[in-house]
Structure 1
């Protein structure tokens, strides 16, 4: 049975794959098949292997998720800052009114004094 696959490779892995294909004098598709078959053979033999490095597209997805989280934090901070600004402004406006005798103009004060 034939199956068509599509996947993304980062440039470093693609270069390593091309080097493997050149070394074996085979095409890129054949090299991919050989590496897949070798991986299955090593798994069936009981060998374990680690994925040593994270691919650049995976790093991009991780970075993008982190940026979205940071956007949420910045949004929360902006909302808090607006609330604090409103609180400070309303307190300042209440203080700026002054006491009643200070609000009258000088003319009214002098007129009543007579």
Structure 2
């Protein structure tokens, strides 16, 4: 009995499947079937196939989401640093008093204020 299924995979995997199909002169569906059957028959000594490992495209998706989150955090951090820098500039601008060593001559350091 034939069963129709749908699957999602990354572009690199489909390019490999298409290359296999072209080399063997079969269509994409038949190439997928042959690759699945070949993979199952080559499993170690007829032991069950381990399905718990993640595929590369799933790991890529997870890493991409993490990087996107980090980029957002870095953008927020840079905005906050810019705001703090602006606040410091404004506060320093209000306190523009001369520094003591700039308001006296070098020989007048011995004088008290």
* TM superposition score category, shorter chain reference: 0.5 to 0.7
Unaligned runs of 5+ in 2: 48-55, 98-113
Runs (4 or more) in structure 1 with deviation over 4 Å come to: 57-61
SS at the partner of 1:45? helix
Aligned to 2:50: none
Query: What is the deviation of 1:69?
Result: 0.8
- Bigger Rg, which one: 1
Greater RCO between the two (CA within 8 Å, min separation 6)? 1
Between the two proteins, the alignment pairs up a number of residues equal to: 91
Q: Identify the residue that residue 43 of structure 2 maps to in structure 1.
A: 43
Deviations 1:55-84 (CA, angstroms, capped at 9, x unpaired): 5x8646634531331221121122122123
Q: TM-score, normalised by structure 1?
A: 0.55
Alignment TM-score, normalising by the size of structure 2 = 0.55
- Provide the C-alpha distance between the structure 1 equivalents of 2:68 and 2:26, rounded to a whole number of angstroms: 42
Identify the structure with the greater helix proportion: 1
Partner of 2:6: 5
CA 94–39 in structure 1, closer or farther in 2 if over 3 Å, else same: same
User: What CA RMSD, in Å, does the superposition of the two structures yield over aligned residues?
Assistant: 3.4
Separation of aligned partners in 1, 2:85 and 2:15 = 55
